[in-house]
């Protein structure tokens, strides 16, 4: 989808770089180091879109599907069915050998200057295919020394590989942990293959959960950042996830990411076929809010495919299939270096703007909180047309601040320049609970249709930084006239 | 005496290939196949055929 592609030029050409107010701001030109993160940790995450919400506005990841095999079965996973339009973990269009993966990474690095992270996330388990995973990382490290490595695993094989993970400078590991109680685990994992045997029931879950916890402890002992993913499954583990949160926090997990179960009979998963539902956005947010204040909670996950490429809100995987890659590719580090320099300057600028915005919402006396949806294609700005948006980032604005709390996926409403009413219904449904939508442009017809549904859509703050735009909207609505002049 | 893979059910994940103690499994075309001359059904090597134990899609059965 070309409308989803952000070129370096378009990001760099964003207006208002030379905004005023710099001299009066204390944080202008800072390294954008958030107050609650240690400098050493910030160095590790500042370019990683999955580990830093701040970084996800600027940096892109790519997954290479070199790990097709898995050593456990999950009731929410079926890797048999693939559709290139689907975005969910465990799904890929083509699997790669390590040599093919290298070719692909170099081609993407040449075309996507935002690329900062190479991840191996399946479609099976990165560690159940350790030979392929290791060969891929070793080859890419030689070609592109400064790319970050990241893996995702169910944790069963993790204790066997921690030393090699540390040796290879894989400094981000995601473990999917859905339970710490084997009885609950047994409802999610029908079997595991361990020590030459298929094991089932609570016995299987006991082994898996014990090895997940041991792997987590071994990684954090080596200062490797660990993100824990948990799939929220209503009626099975939703009430149990606070206990999971406590357990992983106590063992040093850096981030906890609660993801909604994706359950569709067409995917052929056990949960899909048995009618197990996923949580509503409101249920997910309620649980996330309950856990906030513990291990940092990730709110910007897009549950991407095992061959996803690009900023988190987009997937350019189909632009880089093997048949589209040139036979030989040469890596030129210059565009990625230029982009990093641009982001370093942009971040200082955005920090100052964010501080201003936080002051403006903080000036509102009443504790009114509203959800604002933003159409963006990167760079932390309101810069996507309403009709082109395939997702909206959702922020909660209140006197305490402006916080990303999630995203809502929609079908692009405008396919060829003319919007069609027929597709607005699902968009309105997807935006349930949203007060205001900010975008770069919106037509009268969708604007009025959404207004009828109680949602204000405006392009009045086009190309502003997201926080600046939200701060203005919030202060205008809820502040005294003098609070935001 | 050998196991075989039903090509319709095979997802080509390759989990069986790396578990086979007899090196009887290889990738051929779009799926994996078991060489009946090499397959021992894991007798003497494991309690049950390893390919069948690890296969996520139930694609493996005793050859007719």
Domain boundaries, chain B: 3-62
- Residue A228 maps to which CATH number? 3.20.20.70
Query: Does B33 reach chain A within 8 Å, measured CB to CB?
Result: no
A262 and A347 together in one domain: no
pLDDT at A166: 95
A426 and A470 together in one domain: yes
A300 and A352 together in one domain: no
pLDDT at A41: 82
Q: Give me the number of domains chain A comprises.
A: 2
Contacts of the segment A407-415: beta carbons below 8 A, 24+ positions apart: A407/A300, A407/A302, A407/A313, A408/A281, A408/A373, A408/A434, A409/A87, A412/A1, A412/A3, A412/A387, A412/A388, A413/A386, A413/A387, A413/A389, A413/A446, A414/A385, A414/A386, A414/A387, A414/A388, A414/A443
Q: Rounded distance, CA A470 to CA A485, Å? A: 15
pLDDT at A483: 42
Residue A86 lies in a domain: yes
pLDDT at A23: 32
Task: From chain B, pick out residues whose CB is under 8 angstroms from the CB of A196.
Answer: 19, 46-47, 50, 53
pLDDT digits (tens, 9 = 90+) for B34-61: 999 999 999 999 999 999 999 999 999 9
Q: Which of B48, B53, B56 is closest, CB to CB, to A70?
A: B56
A418 and A455 together in one domain: yes
Distances in Å between the alpha carbon of A386 and those of A58, A397, A455, A481, B45?
21, 20, 13, 29, 61
Check: complex ipTM more than 0.85: yes
Q: To the nearest whole angstrom, how far is the Cα of B7 from the nearest Cα of chain A?
A: 12
Q: Do A193 and B18 touch (CB under 8 A)?
A: no
A249 and A360 together in one domain: no
Q: Do B54 and A198 touch (CB under 8 A)?
A: yes
Q: Do A197 and B53 touch (CB under 8 A)?
A: yes
Q: Do A73 and B53 touch (CB under 8 A)?
A: no
A77 and A206 together in one domain: yes
- Of the CATH numbers 3.30.70.20, 3.20.20.140, 3.30.450.40, 3.40.50.12280, which one belongs to the domain with range B3-62? 3.30.70.20
Tens of each residue's pLDDT in chain A, 485 residues: 333 344 445 444 444 433 333 333 333 333 345 566 788 888 888 888 887 888 888 889 899 999 999 999 999 988 775 554 556 666 666 788 999 999 999 999 988 999 999 999 888 999 999 999 999 999 999 999 989 999 999 999 999 999 999 999 998 999 999 999 999 999 999 999 999 999 999 999 999 999 999 999 999 999 999 999 999 999 999 999 999 999 999 999 988 999 999 888 888 889 999 999 999 988 998 998 888 765 577 778 777 777 888 888 778 888 888 888 887 878 888 889 999 998 988 888 888 888 888 888 888 778 889 999 999 988 889 999 998 898 999 999 988 889 888 889 887 655 444 445 556 888 899 999 999 999 999 999 899 999 999 999 999 999 999 999 999 999 888 875 444 44
Can you give the pTM of this predicted structure?
A: 0.80
- From A144, A129, A139, select the one nearest A66 (Cα to Cα): A129
Residue A116 lies in a domain: yes
Q: Is-contact A284 A244, C-beta < 8 A?
A: no
Containing domain of residue A429, as a range? 339-478
Q: How much is the average pLDDT of B2-13? A: 91
Best probe of the B interface among A69, A157, A195, by most B CBs < 10 A, is A69
- Residue A483: how many other CB atoms lie within 10 Å: 16
Residue listed under structure tokens 């055929």: B49
């Amino acid at each position: 989808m070309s409308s989803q592609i952000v070129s370096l030029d378009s990001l760099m050409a964003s207006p208002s770089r030379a905004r005023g107010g710099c001299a009066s701001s204390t944080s202008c030109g800072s390294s954008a180091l958030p107050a609650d993160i240690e400098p050493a940790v910030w160095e590790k995450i500042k370019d990683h879109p999955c580990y830093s919400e701040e970084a996800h506005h600027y940096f892109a990841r790519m997954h290479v599907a070199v790990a097709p095999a898995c050593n456990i079965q999950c009731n929410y996973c079926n890797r048999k069915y693939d559709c290139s339009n689907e975005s969910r973990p465990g799904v890929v269009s083509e699997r790669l050998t390590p040599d093919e993966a290298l070719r692909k990474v170099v081609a993407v690095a040449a075309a996507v200057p935002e690329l900062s992270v190479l991840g191996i996330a399946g479609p099976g388990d990165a560690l159940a295919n350790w030979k392929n995973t290791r060969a891929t990382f070793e080859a890419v490290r030689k070609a592109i020394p400064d790319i970050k490595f990241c893996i995702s695993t169910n944790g069963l094989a993790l204790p066997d590989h921690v030393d090699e993970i540390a040796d290879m400078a894989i400094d981000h590991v995601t473990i999917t942990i859905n339970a710490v109680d084997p009885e609950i685990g047994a409802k999610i994992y029908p079997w595991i293959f361990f020590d030459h045997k298929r094991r089932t029931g609570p016995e299987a879950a006991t082994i898996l959960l014990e090895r997940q916890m041991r792997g987590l402890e071994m990684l954090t002992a080596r200062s490797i950042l660990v993100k824990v993913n948990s799939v929220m499954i209503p009626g099975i583990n939703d009430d149990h996830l606070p206990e999971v949160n406590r357990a992983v926090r106590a063992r040093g997990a850096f981030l906890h990411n609660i993801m909604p179960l994706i359950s569709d009979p067409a995917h052929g998963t056990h949960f899909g076929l048995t009618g197990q539902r996923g949580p509503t956005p409101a249920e997910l947010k309620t649980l996330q809010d309950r856990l906030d204040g513990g291990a940092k909670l990730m709110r910007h996950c897009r549950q991407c495919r095992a061959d996803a490429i690009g900023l988190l809100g987009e997937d350019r995987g189909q632009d880089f299939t093997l048949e589209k890659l040139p036979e030989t590719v040469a890596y030129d580090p210059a565009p990625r270096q230029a982009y990093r320099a641009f982001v370093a300057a942009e971040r200082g600028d955005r920090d100052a703007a964010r501080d201003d915005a936080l002051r403006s919402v903080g000036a509102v006396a009443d504790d009114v909180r509203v959800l604002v949806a933003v159409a963006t294609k990167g760079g932390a700005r309101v810069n996507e047309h309403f009709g082109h948006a395939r997702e909206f980032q959702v922020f909660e604005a209140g006197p305490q601040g402006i916080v990303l709390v999630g995203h809502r996926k929609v079908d692009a409403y405008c396919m060829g320049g003319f919007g069609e009413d027929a597709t607005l219904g699902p968009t309105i449904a997807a935006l349930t609970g949203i007060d205001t939508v900010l975008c770069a442009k919106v037509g009268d017809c969708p604007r009025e249709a959404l207004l009828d549904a109680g949602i204000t859509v405006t392009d009045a703050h086009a190309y502003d930084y997201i926080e600046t735009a939200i701060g203005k909207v919030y202060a205008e609505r809820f502040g005294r006239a003098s609070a935001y002049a | 005496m050998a196991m075989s893979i039903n090509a319709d059910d095979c997802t080509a994940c390759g989990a069986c290939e790396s578990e086979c103690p007899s090196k009887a499994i290889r990738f051929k075309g779009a799926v994996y196949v078991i060489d009946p001359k090499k397959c021992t059904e894991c007798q003497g090597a494991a309690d049950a055929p390893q390919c069948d134990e690890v296969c996520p899609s139930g694609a493996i059965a005793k050859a007719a």
